[in-house]
Structure 1
Amino acid sequence: MVSKTRVVLGMLLLAALAIGTVLLLLAMDADPTWYKFLPTSIIGLGALVAHSSGWFNKKGT
């Protein structure tokens, strides 16, 4: 079973990291390719790692 609260908090954390990455890329005046690749990979790989480590699973019961 999946804890909806943990999923929402995890995705908010990953979204904040992705937004921070975009702001950092803007400050660095990076190539436009990075704006699509880096935030998407942070969200995708972060969700994959969180799910495979069991962070989204309900504890107890």
Structure 2
Amino acid sequence: MLVLLVLAIGAIGLLAAMKADAIWFTIVPLGILSFGASVVQSLGWFDKKAGN
């Protein structure tokens, strides 16, 4: 999850460098976090193994 947060922050920096409209500062980071989290969850990376 920390990797997704870093990617979202990097996307904000990239959007700022490109002087993007304000709406993109909401859509892109939230999209990265939600889409990335759903993909990671479907891959089973958040499953905690018994005994760990």
TM bin (shorter chain): 0.7 to 0.9
Match of 2:22 in 1: 32
Summarize the alignment of residues 1-61 of structure 1 with structure 2, pairs less than 5 Å apart: 11-59=1-49
CA RMSD of aligned residues (A): 1.3
Opposite residue 32 of structure 2, the aligned amino acid is I
Q: Say which structure is richer in helix.
A: 1
Please state whether the residue corresponding to 2:8 is helix, strand or coil.
helix
The count of residues paired between Structure 1 and Structure 2 equals 51
Please state whether the residue corresponding to 1:32 is helix, strand or coil.
coil
Aligned-pair identity in percent equals 49
Higher relative contact order (CA 8 A, sep 6+): 1
Mapped partners of 1:49, 1:30: distance in 2 = 27
